[in-house]
Amino acid sequence: MRAIWKGALTFGLVNVPVKVYSAVEDHDVPLHQVHGADGGRIRYQRKCEVCGEVVPFADIDKAYDDGERTIVLTAEDIASLPAERSREIEVVEFVPSDQIDLLTLDRAYYLEPDSASPKAYVLLRQTLEQTDRTAIVRFSLRQKTRLAALRVRGDVLVLQTLLWADEVREASFPALDEPVKISDKELKLSASLVDSFSSDFDPSEFVDEYQQELRTLIEAKLEKGEALDTAETFGAPEEADTGGEVIDLMAALRASVERSRAARGQGSSTDAGGTASAKKKTPSAKSASKPAGKKAKKAS
């Protein structure tokens, strides 16, 4: 990994030199646009609307437009801002970890100690673990002031940027203001459905099927010299269920429970009262498959 930022983590009088690394990477297949007729690359030019000339990137500045006036901000203007010159990750406060709203979490970064002795780094890590606190920090990265949560993941300090409060929209849906009556049977069936899907989360069991199939398609086209018959190679896609909207919530819950159990090889039948009784059942080709997106485990 290559460090994208280097500075110091500070809280009180403690100074912890660190290097910052991106903790995630994009696994999508890189694609670009071409002319379908001859495969020529489609490129975009930065053209000035006033003079019509193509402008080199080095001559491009940023600007703010309020609808009537345009304020040009040069690279020197941006560089003069105090936050941009700062090389510190400043701890603002320590808060209970459960107070961090998951909705506000953004990009994650690893912090590596950048000194001869990692003692200060380890001290901060152990302190966060023992107190069950998350540090709220402020720093500057890529010309933006960031708010972030500093927490522990294994033996490493992780910096996870947070959205600012005014970047999170309020959820206001009139339909949720209407009173809704949920019966005990509906709640019981819904809980049964949750139980049938219950498992310990293992991220490695889930794969990006679209990207896998895209790579397979590209490899196949290369091997066949662009003469690939997609339908012949991958088969025709299954037709989606286009039945009418299910209005009966109880029926939908029962069907979901049955489908989930069948998919897990736990055949069952549910009576009209919502009580499920175990019953051996030979699953069909469709019902025997795992839920979409999750890899089927090998039979022991």
Apex 106 CA angle, 145 and 169, nearest 5: 90
Exposed, middle or buried: residue 238 (CB in 10 Å: 0-12, 13-18, 19+)? exposed
Q: Provide the pLDDT for residue 82.
A: 65
Q: Provide the pLDDT for residue 14.
A: 79
Q: Is the dihedral of CA 49, 51, 54, 59 positive or negative?
A: negative
Q: Is 269 a residue whose pLDDT tops 70?
A: no
Q: Provide the pLDDT for residue 85.
A: 57
Q: Provide the pLDDT for residue 225.
A: 74
Q: Is 222 a residue whose pLDDT tops 60?
A: yes
Q: Which residues of the chain are in CATH 2.40.290.10 domains?
A: 5-26+81-165
Instruction: Write the DSSP assignment of 92-115 as a string of letters.
Output: EEEEEGGGS-GGGEEEEEEEEE-S
Q: Angle of helix 184-197 relative to helix 249-263, nearest 10 degrees?
A: 20
Structure tokens at 18: 């660190």
Asked whether 268 and 179 are in contact (CB, 8 A), the reply is no
Q: Is 183 a residue whose pLDDT tops 80?
A: yes
**Can you point out the beta strands (E) in 191-283?**
268-270, 276-278
According to DSSP H, which parts of 21-175 are helical?
75-79, 82-85, 119-131
Q: What does the pLDDT look like over 224-235, one tens digit per residue?
A: 776 434 344 345
Q: Is 44 a residue whose pLDDT tops 80?
A: yes
Helix-then-strand count for the chain, H and E: 7, 11
Amino acid at 283: P
* Lowest mean pLDDT, pick from 28-32, 244-248, 263-267: 244-248
Enclosing H/E stretch for 188 = helix 184-197
What is the spatial distance between Cα 16 and Cα 89, in angstroms, rounded to a whole number?
9
Structure tokens at 143: 């010309």
Name the residue among 162, 107, 97 with its Cα closest to residue 131. Answer: 97
Q: How confident is the model at residue 284 (pLDDT cuts 50, 70, 90)?
A: very low
What is the spatial distance between Cα 230 and Cα 216, in angstroms, rounded to a whole number?
11
Q: Is 76 a residue whose pLDDT tops 60?
A: yes
Asked whether 97 and 151 are in contact (CB, 8 A), the reply is yes
Amino acid at 197: F
Q: Provide the pLDDT for residue 229.
A: 42
Look up tokens 């780094």; give the residue. 121
Q: What does the pLDDT look like over 121-153, one tens digit per residue?
A: 998 999 999 998 999 999 887 767 889 999 999
Which tops the pLDDT comparison, 269 or 86? Answer: 86
What is the spatial distance between Cα 141 and Cα 162, in angstroms, rounded to a whole number?
13
Fold classification of 5-26+81-165 is: Ku70; Chain: A; Domain 2 (2.40.290)
Q: Provide the pLDDT for residue 66.
A: 86
What is the CB neighbour count within 10 angstroms for residue 181?
5
Q: Provide the pLDDT for residue 231.
A: 43
Which tops the pLDDT comparison, 266 or 110? Answer: 110
Asked whether 70 and 106 are in contact (CB, 8 A), the reply is no
What is the spatial distance between Cα 271 and Cα 258, in angstroms, rounded to a whole number?
11
